[in-house]
Structure 1
Amino acid sequence: MQPPAIPANEIERLHVLHALAILDTQAEERFDRLTRIATRMFDVPIALVSLVDTNRQWFKSCMGLPVLETPRDISFCGHAILGNDTFVINDASKDPRFLDNPLVTAAPHIRFYAGRPIRTMRGFKIGTLCLIDSKPRAFDAEDLADLNDLAVMVENELAAIEMATMDELTDLSNRRGFIMLTEKYLNYFTRHHVFATLVFLDLNGFKPINDTYGHDEGDRALQAFGKGLKLVGRSSDIFARLGGDEFVILLANARQHEAHIYVDRLTTYLDTVRQQQRQPYQLSFAQGIVEFDPQLPKSVEQLLVEGDALMYQRKNLPRCYTSLTPPSNDLNGRGPA
């Protein structure tokens, strides 16, 4: 068996998938309608809207299977998202990549598979609309066109979710998306006694960047900051732009001291980027760090209010600033540590 490879953009792909706040949500008629149509149109017993997560494929819509997820390392959809076109296996029992796959040798005894990658508005392939049959079969050009049409409808539904829950500029969650996703996380953390930490971030002196270098450069600075949040963090963390130059992170399974380590790494990352790209300004930030105790749980809104208050306390410290000229390389010339 050949496990699927990992896409080159896996880190960002997973961040976008998680930011949609769609994983582990209830079934929705707008997706189930399309998989029902698919089973009838192609006369197959199984049709899925499959989302490829870190270690699993989870089915937002599932017609014909009794489970809602399977491991990613045996998934056909994990292979499908590696390409741009529909991934077709006419007879898996004769394909060396799949002939000994447990999904082939045992239920649901896959023989035929066709999966068309599902893309977000920014082009990230987060899953597939796929067809499965226990009998080998052909799949011609007309079939490919029909499956593509249905997949576009799935993408349109996902685009509506994306527009409502994600920040268009940075590809992070927006405030609504962050609250939706964090509520699910906190409920899980409370039940399973897991700590977490919220980090509320506000860029220092951001207005002079817009005033001096223009709003296009200001947008690039926000995008670079958002990229840094994700690169320094983990796929299990939640990142959001709340608005303007305010950002927030929920670090899963992390205590306060680990959040300070994250802040140190983010500061180092931003300083490295400034030096490599010879930016005429330094991005620094003030942060408010609030720990979530599962024995004394707080709501997302409470954590945001407390993080905001702590951030403003720190923002008043004299070392929190953004310089419009390259700062010195010592720690006192950086943002907060």
Structure 2
Amino acid sequence: MQVAENVTSLPLARPQTEQFRLAALQRYQILDTGPDAEIDFLTSLAARLCGMPLACVALVDSERVWFKSGHGVPTHALERNDSYCALAVLGEAITEFSDVQQDYRTAGMSWSVQTPQVRHYCAAALCSPDGYPLGTLAVMSDQPGQLSEEQRSTLQQLARQVMAIFDRNVAQSALARVLQERELLATTDELTGLHNRRSLQQKLTFEVARARRFRSHLSTLMIELDQLAALRADFGPAAAEQLLASVGRLLRESVRVIDVPSRYNESQFCILLPNTPPDGAQILAHNLRRKIAAQVHTLAQRELLLSASVGVAALDFMDVNDGDALLQQAERALTQARTEHAGHLPLHG
């Protein structure tokens, strides 16, 4: 930040509702964002309609004034005590200095004593819908002067247009978040955080089509906790859900970004493995069984270990040539593994 030598910025008054004003500013999430063509247009339009060579859109943060847009002025941030805009958020709809060099509060500010050598300054407050001034749309000149009532009214109208753009952008961001959350809810199993059955089917259709096109590998694992039914009977459904959530988290953390771990049904998981040959899927199945067996769970003040059965299937473009066939093959493999790996329930403590 450039400041003139031997110039001391005097502490400026702050709005009585400063904490609420700053909270309103933060809700817009606009500080330190990139250029906006619409805001830049309104800034230059304000300069032209008010007959002033300089204009800016400034937002007054806790200790700085940050410039969203500038016309003929530098747009680096200024210390709050070194900016006219900090005076324009004290409650007035319009703030005007006919000659900033004649006011003790502004005479020593950097823009008064060096480039852009401001003399005349007029700003319309940018107010949130709940009435808090967030910043200004300001026009400036290097000559003393005063805006006409029509020009002041025009500046206020343009300031309202700037706020309309800010409000629209906030609404669009909020809508995007809602849509993203809805999509997440529609494709995510709430208990485990994994893909749900619907999402798995969508991913499966896509991955099968891609595997056919590029003749690439596609494998899947079907996983079931061997003791889950007994645990549900002994400890209740809440305990079973606790275990499923824990194992779901382990699966999510144990696969690649391109893999699709999912909750297949009430007691089974399914992991779709793109670009994975059958031997690679077998290795992963072994590693996951080992990790699941190493997890220690606590139910009713007792520690217990689980084991899992895993069925492995792979697309072969012959007998297993589509998504349904792939899942059916994995279910058959799981049934066989379940008979071979039926686990017991080691208790500790």
TM-score normalised by length of structure 1: 0.51
Given the alignment, which residue of 285, 303, 314 partners 1:291? Answer: 314
CA–CA distance in structure 1, aligned partners of residues 329 and 322 of structure 2: 11
1:251 is paired with a residue whose SS is strand
Residues 1:182 and 2:228 are matched in the alignment: no
Residues 275 and 225 (structure 1), Cα distance of their counterparts in 2 relative to 1, 3 Å cut: closer
Match of 1:210?
232
- Structure 1 contact 172–241 (Cα < 8 Å) conserved: yes
* Superposed CA offset, 1:47-102 (max 9, x none): xxxxxxxxxxxxxxxxxxxxxxxxxxxxxxxxxxxxxxxxx9958x989xxxxxxx
Match of 2:296?
274
Match of 2:243?
221
Residues 1:169 and 2:191 are matched in the alignment: yes
Match of 2:4?
none
Larger radius of gyration: 2
C-alpha displacement of 1:207: 2.1
Match of 2:335?
312
Report which stretch shifted further, 267-276 or 231-240.
267-276
C-alpha displacement of 1:245: 0.9
**Matched residue type, 2:309:** A
After superposition, the CA RMSD in angstroms is: 3.6
Match runs of 1:32-47 below 5 Å: 43=38
1:163 is paired with a residue whose SS is helix
Aligned-pair identity (%) = 17
C-alpha displacement of 1:326: 4.4
1:254 is paired with a residue whose SS is coil
Residues 90 and 189 (structure 1), Cα distance of their counterparts in 2 relative to 1, 3 Å cut: farther
Match runs of 1:1-337 below 5 Å: 43=38, 90=68, 144-274=166-296, 280-293=303-316, 298-317=321-340, 319-323=341-345, 325-326=347-348
The number of aligned residues is 201
Residues 245 and 89 (structure 1), Cα distance of their counterparts in 2 relative to 1, 3 Å cut: farther
1:157 is paired with a residue whose SS is helix
**Which ranges of structure 1 fall in alignment gaps of 5 or more residues?**
1-40, 46-87, 96-137, 328-337
Report which stretch shifted further, 151-160 or 253-262.
151-160
2:269 is paired with a residue whose SS is strand
CA–CA distance in structure 1, aligned partners of residues 323 and 302 of structure 2: 35
2:199 is paired with a residue whose SS is helix
- Structure 1 contact 195–294 (Cα < 8 Å) conserved: no
* Superposed CA offset, 1:99-134 (max 9, x none): xxxxxxxxxxxxxxxxxxxxxxxxxxxxxxxxxxxx
CA–CA distance in structure 2, aligned partners of residues 243 and 199 of structure 1: 14
